[in-house]
Amino acid sequence: MEAPQEVLRRAQRRRKRCCISTAVAAATVVLLAIVIPCALLLSDIQPGPTQPAAILLPLYIYPSRNAWEPLFNAVSTNQEVNFTVIVNPDSGPGQSAGPGNDYVSAISRLTAAPNVQTVGYVRTGYGTRDIDTVLRDVDIYSRWSQLANGLAVSGIFFDEAPHDYSQQKQQYMATANQAVKESTGIREPRLIIHNPGTIPDATLDVDSTDVTVVFENSFQEFERKKEALRALSGDRPDYSVMVHSVPTGESIGKLLRDMSREAKYMFLTTADEGYYDHFSSSWATFVDLMRS
């Protein structure tokens, strides 16, 4: 029979081991409670684009006081990110020779930044708008450089570009492109962007087009169209993808990685309406992840 003292010592050792095990288990629970939420919170500061990328921003916001400050702040604090900004005073350049003093001041401030180029918005009505009116809009943008040095645009964004082939539509867009490439008032690189908003018919291709927006739709639709986008035959710099209505719980970092596999020029927003007339709550996160 063991001595009472030995029995007591063995009981004390068991209690000590039990207390240590309990403490370790409790510490593990606490650690998991901290680590798991942090991992979820940090998911959007993991690397974004897997390859070099640029922001294509539809800036359809009147430059009233402080209205463009989120953009100015993003440009100045993310100098390694390249911004191509679509300026759109009046569904195009408007009827006047210049865009007005507010635009002159704001656009000049933008173009002073080395990581920004601006392109002028021109609507084509899917190839049905009068071509002379389209060429007039291009000409107005080209003359902006005469009003102020910082006002000159570096290209044209042709919205509502046709996506289905006809010889007439192909010639229409080729004529519009030529006006841009031959303009002395539009700065180099005289970037030409077509926005059909979907993958266009391959036979509609115009050699002088630099970038085509092959997707402009919701997050849900992007998830459905991934395979079609991955099947594109061109190079990444030839394409842009623009995604709106991104769910607030979705990992923006993961989405940007998916988008960057297909396109160099990107835009996303959590806004589910008025996508381009305000800076959504996702703007700062989006820009920050584009530094990756």
Q: What's the CATH number of domain 49-289, 3.60.15.10, 3.40.190.290, 3.40.50.720, 3.20.20.70? A: 3.20.20.70
Q: What is the pLDDT of residue 13?
A: 54
Q: How many residues comprise the chain?
A: 292
Model-level pTM?
0.84
With pLDDT > 90 as the criterion, what percentage of the chain qualifies? 80
Q: What is the pLDDT of residue 243?
A: 98
Q: What is the pLDDT of residue 10?
A: 52
Confidence class for position 263, pLDDT limits 50, 70, 90: very high
Q: Would you list the domain boundaries of the chain?
A: 1-45, 49-289
How much is the average pLDDT of 238-255? 96
DSSP E strand stretches across the chain = 54-59, 83-87, 116-123, 155-159, 191-195, 211-218, 239-244, 265-268
| Mean of pLDDT over the chain | 88
Burial category of 100 from C-beta neighbours within 10 Å (exposed 0-12, middle 13-18, buried 19 and up)? middle
Question: Tokens for 51?
Answer: 């390859």
Query: Mind listing the pLDDT tens digit for each residue in 17-47?
Result: 544 444 434 444 334 344 334 443 444 456 7
- Nearest Cα neighbor of 280 from 65, 71, 49 is 71
Query: Mind listing the pLDDT tens digit for each residue in 38-72?
Result: 443 444 456 788 788 999 999 999 999 999 999 99
pLDDT value at 283 more than 70: yes
pLDDT value at 84 more than 90: yes
Are residues 74 and 287 in contact, defined by beta-carbon separation less than 8 angstroms? yes
